[in-house]
Amino acid sequence: MPAPCSRESRSASLPSARIHLVGIGGSGMSGLAAMLASGGARVSGEDASGGMVVTRLREAGVDVAVGEPDARSPGLPRGVEFVIASAAIPAGHRTLREAAARMIPVLTYAEALGLVQRERTGISIAGTHGKSTTTCLLGHLLIEVGLDPGVIVGARCASLCDPRDPIAAAVGGSRVGARTIPSGALAGRPGLLVAEACEYRRSFLEHRPRFALVNNLEADHLDVYRDLAEIIEAFRDFARLLPSAAEGGKLLIAHEGAHREEVAAGVVAAVETFGWHPLADWVVGIEPGGRTTLTPKSPDRPRLSWRTPLPGRHSSLNSAAAAILAWWSGADPRLIPAAIESFGGLDRRMQVLGRRRVSGGEVMVVDDYGHHPTECAATLAALREFHRPRRLVCVFQPHQHSRTRQLLDDFARSFSAADLVLVPEIHFARDSEADRRSVSSADLVARLRAAGTDAMHLPRAEDVLRHLEANARPGDLVVTMGAGPMDALALTYLAAPARRTDVA
C-alpha cells in the first residue's frame, strides 16, 4: 500500500514536490500537470496513446513516456514523491503497483485537484452540461477584469493562455494565476482558482470550493450511478462541501432543471438561483436582437446585458452564471459585459473549424463535444438558428454503449433539427464486452428513422468521409459531434482537396 500521508501534509508538499502523472495526456490531467509545473513542482508523466497534448507538453520541457508500460519500461523516475493517476487508470496498472511497492503516495486526479484548491479561493463549476464552457468563460471574464485567476478545465481554450506560463499555454486548459486576489471585494485573499467539477465517480466530492455552480442536472453516467435519484444525492453532497454563509460560502444553482430543492437541502452556504423564471434571484432574459439580460431580484445588485458570444439559449444561461460568479468574486460589474462579449470560445464547443470548397460554393465544418441527448438537441438548434445553413448534416458518434442503450429513446428525439444524421460505430470507452454487445449504432439509426429523422449507419470514418465527399452541397453545415475523436474526422474532411459537386 502507498505510504500514509495526511491531507494537510500532502497539500503543503505538492507545490514543490517531484510528481509523476499517469494518464498525463487527458484533458484534466494535462491541465493539472501544467498548473503544478508552472507553480514550482517537478513534473513528469506517462500516457498510453500520446497525441497532440503530449507533444505540446514535451515541447514545453515536460518528460512524458508514451505507451503501455511493460517489463522493459524504465519505471517510475528516481526521486518521485507523489503519483497522480487519471480516473481512467485501473488499480492494477504497472506504475501504480510500482508506486505501492516503493511506498510512494498515489493520489487520484480529483484528490490532487482538491489539495491544490484548498490553498486558493476555489470556484467549482458543476452540472450535467456546460461545465467546460462556463469554466472557460468565467476564467476569461476574470482575466479581462483584472482578477488574474487560476483555471483548470477539461478543454483547450485560447482565452486562458498566459504568455508568462509556457507550459500551461502548451496545454491550453489551465492557468496558474495570482497567488492573491489583486483587487475587488476579495482583494488580498488567496488567489482565485476556477475548476471544472465532474460528477463521474463522484470525483467532485474532492473539491474544496468557496463558491460553486450547479448549472443543470440530468441522468448521465449511468454506468456508475444507479439512477437519477443517486445522481441528485451526489450533487447534494457536493453542495454541502461549501462553507457556511457566515464563512462566505455561496451556491449558485439553476432555478429550473437542476433539482434545486433536493440539491440545496441542508446546505449551510448562501444559496441563490438564476434562470428564466421570474421568481429566480437572478432572472435571465433575451431581448429582441439577441442581447442577454440579467436582472437581480435585489435592487442593490447590478443589472447587466451583453451580446452572448456563442449561439443558443443555453449559452445565455452559461454566460449569466459566469457573470454572477464574477461579481461574487469582486469583479467591477461595469466591466463584465465587454469581458463576456470578447470571449473567443473553446475547442470542440460549436467550434467553426473552417470551410471546404465545393463546386458552386462552400461547406462550413463545425465540431462539437456534445454526447448527451440534451446537449445534442441544444447544439443543433443553436447552429440552425445562428448559421441558417441550406442543410444541417450531423455526423454523430455515440459515446459509450451503456449510455447509448440507457438513453436510446432520448437520443432518438434529439436530432430533429438536423436534415441528415450520419452515425458511425459507437465509441467504446469504459464499458464491458457485455455492454458492447447490448446495442449498436444501427439500433440508434433505426430509432431515429422511426422518429422521422433522416439517418444513415456508416460504420467507419472512411465511410463517412466518402459520403461527405460525394454528397455535401454548397451551403451545407456539417457538424461532427461526440466525445470521441470526431474532430480528427472533421479536420481530415477539411484537408482533402476541393472537389466538383455533382449533387444539385
CATH assignment at residue 475: 3.90.190.20
My answer on whether 181 and 315 are in the same domain is yes
Q: Is residue 40 part of a domain?
A: yes
Domain's final residue, options 54, 80, 108: 108
My answer on whether 143 and 180 are in the same domain is yes
Q: Is residue 113 part of a domain?
A: no
CA pair distance 212, 310, nearest whole angstrom: 23
My answer on whether 144 and 277 are in the same domain is yes
- If phi over 0 gives left and psi between -120 and 50 gives alpha, with beta otherwise, what is residue 303? beta
Q: Is residue 418 part of a domain?
A: yes
Q: Is residue 114 part of a domain?
A: no
Q: Is residue 74 part of a domain?
A: yes
Q: Is residue 346 part of a domain?
A: no
Q: What residues make up the domain containing 143?
A: 120-341
CA pair distance 84, 49, nearest whole angstrom: 18
My answer on whether 326 and 266 are in the same domain is yes
Domain's final residue, options 52, 81, 108: 108
DSSP 319-330: HHHHHHHHHHTT
My answer on whether 63 and 140 are in the same domain is no
Confidence (pLDDT) at 499: 56
User: At 61, which CATH number?
Assistant: 3.40.50.720
Domain's final residue, options 341, 375, 399: 341
Q: Is residue 2 part of a domain?
A: no
My answer on whether 95 and 146 are in the same domain is no
Q: Is residue 479 part of a domain?
A: yes
Q: What is the pLDDT along the chain (504 residues), one digit of tens a residue?
A: 444 555 555 555 777 799 999 999 887 888 888 888 877 899 999 998 877 788 888 888 889 998 877 666 678 989 999 999 988 788 889 999 999 999 999 999 999 999 889 889 999 999 998 898 999 999 999 999 999 999 988 777 877 877 777 676 666 667 888 889 999 999 999 999 999 999 888 999 999 999 999 999 988 887 889 999 999 999 999 999 999 999 999 999 999 999 999 999 999 999 999 999 999 999 999 998 889 999 999 999 999 999 998 888 989 999 999 999 999 999 999 999 999 999 987 778 889 999 998 888 999 999 998 888 988 999 999 999 889 999 999 999 999 898 899 889 999 999 999 999 999 999 887 778 888 888 999 999 999 999 999 999 999 999 999 999 999 999 999 999 998 888 889 999 998 776 544 433
How many CB atoms are located within 10 Å of the residue 489 CB? 23
My answer on whether 221 and 367 are in the same domain is no
Close Cβ partners of 336 (under 8 Å, ≥ 6 residues apart): 141, 145, 302, 304, 306, 323, 326, 327
Domain count of the fold of the chain: 3
pTM for this prediction: 0.82
Cell numbers describing residue 76 = 517510475
My answer on whether 19 and 154 are in the same domain is no
Confidence (pLDDT) at 224: 84
How many CB atoms are located within 10 Å of the residue 93 CB? 20
